[in-house]
Structure 1
Amino acid sequence: MKWDPSKYVEFGNHRDRPFHDLVARIQADEPRSVVDLGCGPGNLTATLAARWPAARVLGLDSSQEMLAKAARLAVPGQLEFEQADIADWTPDRDVDVVVTNAALQWVPGHQDMLSGWLQALPPGAWFALQVPGNFTSASHALMRKLAESPTWASRLDGVLRHEGAVGSPADYLEIMLDAGCTADAWETTYQQLLPGKDPVLQWVRGTGLRPVLAALSEEEGLEFEHEYSTLLRQAYPESAHGTLYPFRRIFAVARRNP
C-alpha cells in the first residue's frame, strides 16, 4: 500500500491535535533516546526533537514515500529516520520514550506486541500510544458495507480491517498495568468541522481509504469513490458552518515502574 504524504498532511491542524494531546502527558525530563513508531512524513517527530534537544530521536516507518518526505527534516545524531516494520521492532535498553501515533491500527496483533515492548523498556521509560476509535463511525461502516456489496466483494474481500483492529481504552490500560507500569488511558471525540466539497471523502483518502485504492485499478477506484461519496454526503450533510465529522481517538500512556 502506497502512501501520499501530501494527502496525509491535509487537514493538518485536525490530524496533528491528537498527537500533541498525547505527548503532553509524557513527563520525561531528559530522555536519552526517543522513538516514534510510524513517524509518517516526520513533521510531528521533529517536535519531539524540539522538546528534547539532548535526545537522539528516531522515526521509524515502513513507507518509502513518507520517509522521503521526512528525510528533509533529518539532523544527523539528533533527528534521524529509518525504514522499518513496526512488527519487527524491539526497543534498545537506552530507549526512554516511545511514541506511536495513529499507526498501531495497521499492525495486526499489536496488543500482544505492546506487552513485550513495555517489558523490554528500562525502568522509568515512557510509552505513549494513540489509535483511532472510529471504526464504527459512518465513514468506516459505509466503506466496509460498500466493499462487501456484490459489485465489490470479489475484489475487496479481506482488504479492510474491522473493529478488532484496535483495543478499547480499558484493554490498553490492562496491558500496561500487567507489564509493570503506572498507566493512564482515555478517549476523546473531536467535533471537527471540515471545509470544502466532500471533505469526509478527502479526509479518508489520506488514511482509511488507502487499502481500497491500492487494491483497485485507477478506473475502479474512481467508481468506488463515486458510490462512496454519495453515501458520505447523506451521512455527513454540509451545514452553513462546514461538515461536522466526529473523530474519536483512543489514548494510553505508561511509565515503567522502577
Structure 2
Amino acid sequence: MWDPSQYTRFRDERKRPFFELLSRVDVAAPTHVADLGCGTGDLTRVLAERWPGATVYGVDSSVEMVEEARRRPAPGSLRFEVGELAGWAPPVPLDVLVSNAALHWVPDHAALMARLVAKLSPNAVLAFQVPANFDAPSHRLVDEVKALPRFARVLEPVRRRPVETLETYESLLAGRGMTVDAWETTYLHLLPGEDAVLQWLLGTTLRPVLAALGEAERQAFLEELGPRLRDAYPAHARGTPFLFTRRFVVARRGT
C-alpha cells in the first residue's frame, strides 16, 4: 500500500537527510552504486548525476514505487528493480551502497549489517540513515490507538521495528572490518497544511497499520488518531512543529 504521492507530500523534509548523508561519502569514481529503498527514484537520480560513470541500481520492495521511478526518462546506467532490501543481490560487488530511511522496515539489524557488508567490494562505502523517533509522541499515540479493543486483535501482529543505537551499529560494522562514522540529528520540521503530522505518518508509519484493517476500520482508526495528534502537535500560522530524530552511519570497508 505504498502511495508515491502521499510519501512525497513532504519531499523537502524527507530528502534533506539524504544530502547530509551523501556529503560524508568520500568516493571519487565508483563503478557500481546501489540505493536500497529507492522509493520514487528522485534521490537515486542524484547518485547517477554525482557519479555519471557508474552503473546505479535503485531497488525497492514496492512495485508501486518502482513503477513511479520508471515513468521518467533515465540514463542507461540507471536501473530500477523490485527487490527485498536484505535479499537483493547485486550482479557484482558494490563500491557504494546507500539507503535513506528504509532499513528500519527490515528486522534483525545484526544479520542485516552482515548481509549488506557482503555486497561490498574492497574499500567500498556503506552509508545509511534510519529514523530514530520511535519514542516520540506521534509513535506513542499510534501504539495507543492500536491497543484499543476495537483494533488490538487485528493489529497485534503489526509490530514496530525500532533501530539499533549508534554504538551497536559501530560495533556490528567494526567487527566486520569497517571504519565507522556515526551521528544523530534531530530536525525541527514546520509541516504545512491541516493534520500535518497525520499526513506525514500516512506516508510511512501508518502504511502497515492501515493495510491490516478493512476500509471501515481504517477510517475509524484515523478518526481516533487524528484528534490525539492535533493535541500533541498544535498547529501555528507558520506550520506544525514536528521534531524528528534520525541516525546516520557511513562505514568504509578495508581491503
The answer to which of 78-87 and 110-119 deviates more is 110-119
Structure 2 counterpart of 1:245, from 242, 247, 250 = 242
Aligned-pair distance for 1:115?
A: 2.1
Query: Does residue 212 of structure 1 match 2:209?
Result: yes
Q: CA deviation at 1:252?
A: 0.3
Matches of residues 172-211 of structure 1 in structure 2 within 5 Å? 172-211=169-208
Q: For the Cα contact (< 8 Å) 2:94–2:124, is it kept in 1?
A: yes
Q: CA 1:55 to 1:26, structure 2 compared with 1: closer, same or farther past 3 Å?
A: same
Q: Aligned pair 1:21/2:29, yes or no?
A: no
8 Å CA contact 1:37–1:86 kept in 2: the answer is yes
Identity of aligned residues (%): 48
Deviations 1:18-60 (A, max 9, x none): 1111111100100000001111110110100000000000011
Q: Output the amino acid matched with 1:174.
A: S
Secondary structure of 1:253's match?
A: strand
Structure 1 unpaired stretches of 5+? none
Trace 1:109-120 onto structure 2 (pairs within 5 A): 109-120=108-119
How big is the shift at 1:172?
1.0
Q: Measure the CA separation in 2 of the matches of 1:139 and 1:234.
A: 11
TM-superposed deviation, 1:170: 1.2
* Equivalences for residues 124-143 of structure 1 within 5 A: 124-143=123-142
Does the CA-based 8 Å contact 1:87-1:110 persist in structure 2?
no
Work out whether 1:227 is the aligned partner of 2:224: yes
- Contact kept? 1:42, 1:73, Cα under 8 Å: no
1:224–1:76: structure 2 CA closer, same or farther, 3 Å change rule? same
Structure 2 gap segments, 5+ residues each = none
Aligned-pair CA distance for 1:93: 4.4
**CA distance, structure 2, for counterparts of residue 34 and residue 72 of structure 1:** 21
TM-score w.r.t. length of structure 1? 0.95
**How many Å separate the matches in 1 of 2:92 and 2:218?**
45
Q: Does the CA-based 8 Å contact 1:119-1:179 persist in structure 2? A: no
Residue 43 of structure 2 is aligned to residue 66 of structure 1: no
Question: Is 1:158 the equivalent of 2:152?
Answer: no
Q: Secondary structure at the match of 1:131?
A: strand
Contact 1:59 1:82 in 2 (8 A): yes
* Offset of residue 166 of structure 1: 0.9
TM-score (norm 2): 0.96
Give me the CA root mean square deviation. Answer: 1.4
Q: Which amino acid aligns with 1:147?
A: K
The 8 Å contact of residues 16 and 44 in structure 1, kept in 2 or not, is answered as: yes
Q: Distance in 2 between matches of 1:183 and 1:93?
A: 23
Q: Identify the residue that residue 47 of structure 2 maps to in structure 1.
A: 48
